[in-house]
Homo-oligomer: A and B are copies of this chain.
Amino acid sequence: MLVRDLGEFELIDRLAAVIATANERRIAQIGERGFRMLRAIGDDAAAWHAPSGTRVLTTDTMVERVHFDLRYTNWRDLGWKCLATNISDIAAMGCVPTWATVTLGLRPDLSVIGLEELYKGMMELTAECGGAIVGGDIVKSPVFFISVALEGAATSGSSNPLLLRDDATPGDLIAVTGHLGSSGGGLRLLLSGADAHADTAAAHLKRAHNRPMPRVQAGVSLARQGVRCAMDISDGLVDDLGKLCRASGVHAQIHTPSLPVDARLKAAFPADWLTLALGGGEDYELLFTAPPEVMHKAAQATDTPITVIGEILAGEPGVTVLDARNEPLDIASGGWDHFRDD
């Protein structure tokens, strides 16, 4: 069955039915924080009663053939990922996700079963990270796109619980969660043909690309431990660290031997793993800075792997990458400029 075989409202009903049970559970969990849902899907807007507190709001969009391709991403992974990119932004503020709206721009020849799978993928992620879908919009479009807007809430009662990207200070250490470059490696494997790399190492890397796990618990823990400066890594380490430096007016120096890189990435890409770790993008790990004593406490307080990779210096905003001999690497801008690289 294709989108064109159903009316807009029949389609909405089907998709709402797919998420109903799990979504109700998520809404109840968010309710434990003092939120009370009044109307979810079905009226002009979703409505809830909220306690006072700090809120965050983000939005992130994926366009077919620009950000994803159904030839190498299955529907359920796509649902996971389009929500994960948003939850990662909320995590990077030190907050937890609450309410999401999901907008679908649909080609009439898309599969209804596929769209149901898409919503199942989203609900699988909310089971891990929290958040509920409370509304959206479905429109006809010649290109398939998915746009999510997501609100979140701070969990701490502190007056300044947020993780911001403009708060890095000379003397801070720089750290990241998890591994770097795995998502970029996974994408390369996906583009080169799935069957050629069917071993478990390849499966791990592809999963890093298709099912990134937002660092919600780590973000909350960092904020609680006194970390004040963080962002998530979506465009690649060097590129995103550059943004953090510009926002904070500081310089960053990182050390390639310190970068946390999965052995499976090194094995699959013996020549390119460093390029992938520095610029691969879409890792959705947290990048953060803090004074050494705070960093030490923060690393101890969470189960999430945390690796110190460098330090913040005074000086011109920018990033210096030092190799094993402490020589600066000549790095091209790791940034993938979304319009210029046409």
Contacts and interface: CB of A to CB of B under 8 A. Distances in A.
Nearest to A142: B143
Contact of A67 (B7, B49, B139, B165): B139
Interface string A114-153: 0000000000000000000011111111110101010110
A165 B41 CA distance: 12
Contact of A162 (B47, B66, B93): B47
Nearest to A86: B45
Given A90-B45, A141-B66, A152-B45, A7 B166 contact: no
Q: Give this chain's copy count.
A: 2
B63 A140 contact: yes
Interface in A1-20: 3-4, 6-8, 11
A339 B8 contact: yes
A66 B140 contact: yes
A342 interface: yes
Nearest to A60: B137
Given A135-B57, A141-B66, A8 B338 contact: yes
A312 interface: no
A61 B147 contact: yes
Contacts of A337: 7-8
B54 A52 contact: no
19 contacts: A4-B340, A8-B338, A8-B339, A38-B162, A39-B164, A43-B165, A43-B231, A44-B93, A47-B54, A47-B55, A47-B162, A48-B54, A59-B135, A61-B105, A61-B137, A62-B139, A66-B139, A137-B147, A142-B143
A47 B56 contact: yes
- Interface size band for A: 35 or more
Contacts of A6: 339
B38 A57 contact: no
Interface in A41-94: 42-63, 65-67, 88-90, 92-93
